[in-house]
Amino acid sequence: MILHLLLSSVALFHFTNAQCQQSGDQYIGDLCYIIPNIQLNFQDARCYCHSRNKNLGVVHSTYQANFLASMIRTQTQASESKFWIGLNRQSTGSRFIWDDGTAMYWSNFDNNFPQDNLFVVESTVNGKWLTLDGTQQLYFVCSYDPRNPATGTAQPSTQDTSTIGYGTSTQFNTETDYTTASSASSDQDSTTNGGWTELTTASDFSTTDIPITSYT
């Protein structure tokens, strides 16, 4: 039964992946995703996605969360890591808002950790969410709705960047800008970042990494 579900998921993935704008984009659930080969803080990661008319990763379901965790884990070859998703809030007392401007109607926070910061990451260990202060240099995902490309357009920021320790970010326009920003980070791990390439097809990662019953 598990094998049947696995094969069905892979077949569906191949079929729907053609709906995305680029052949290398991954269609998961109802959205297309890309995983850039770069580590940035939250604000710069969001600017990176916006410069490509996409949002910092929006996640609507456990299926998407688990699939993304598996893909990031496969790319980084790290047994434990975190990556930015496009969820944040203006203050600890306000509601979380997705980068596409929609409210959070499905929650995936890890109950073992307090929600005491403004910016959200996902763990590759269990697919659960945690909050951080936004300054960490991490991998991230960008997303867009292939049925409505306009939803991938940069949305007005819900974050007052004057409250962030690293200040207001400048939107990137070229790959050189991203590379320069990445290399400027003092805690960039060049051995981790340089040993892999961006996923382009479903066959680039082992289907055994797709969590079917994990992260419940």
Q: What is the DSSP string of 67-106?
A: HHHHHHHHHH--SS-EEEEEEE-SSTTSPPEETTS-B--S
Provide the pLDDT confidence category of residue 17 given band limits of 50, 70 and 90: low
Which has more confidence, 29 or 1? Answer: 29
> Can you give the pLDDT at residue 149?
64
Provide the pLDDT confidence category of residue 200 given band limits of 50, 70 and 90: very low
- Residue 164 and residue 149: Cα distance in Å, rounded? 30
- Residue 122 and residue 84: Cα distance in Å, rounded? 6
> Can you give the pLDDT at residue 71?
93
Is the per-residue pLDDT at 120 higher than 80?
A: yes
Collect all residues with Cβ–Cβ distance below 8 Å to 93 and sequence separation of at least 6. none
> Can you give the pLDDT at residue 13?
44
DSSP string, 129-188: EEEE-S-S-BEE-EEE-TT-GGGGSPPPP-S-GGGSTT-PPPPP-SHHHHHHHHHT-TT-
- Residue 192 and residue 194: Cα distance in Å, rounded? 6
Instruction: Render pLDDT for 132-158 as a digit per residue (tens, 0 to 9).
Output: 999 999 999 999 999 876 655 444 444
Collect all residues with Cβ–Cβ distance below 8 Å to 192 and sequence separation of at least 6. 76, 77, 78
Q: How high does pLDDT run on average in the chain?
A: 73
Is the per-residue pLDDT at 117 higher than 50?
A: yes
- Residue 203 and residue 32: Cα distance in Å, rounded? 17
Across residues 187-216, what is the average pLDDT?
A: 37
> Can you give the pLDDT at residue 23?
85
Provide the pLDDT confidence category of residue 190 given band limits of 50, 70 and 90: very low
Across residues 21-44, what is the average pLDDT?
A: 94
> Can you give the pLDDT at residue 151?
54
The encoded tokens of residue 22 equal 């680029």
Q: Specify the DSSP element, H or E, that contains 10.
A: helix 2-17
Is the per-residue pLDDT at 59 higher than 60?
A: yes
- Residue 140 and residue 203: Cα distance in Å, rounded? 21
Q: What is the pTM of this model?
A: 0.66
Is the per-residue pLDDT at 114 higher than 90?
A: yes
- Residue 30 and residue 151: Cα distance in Å, rounded? 12
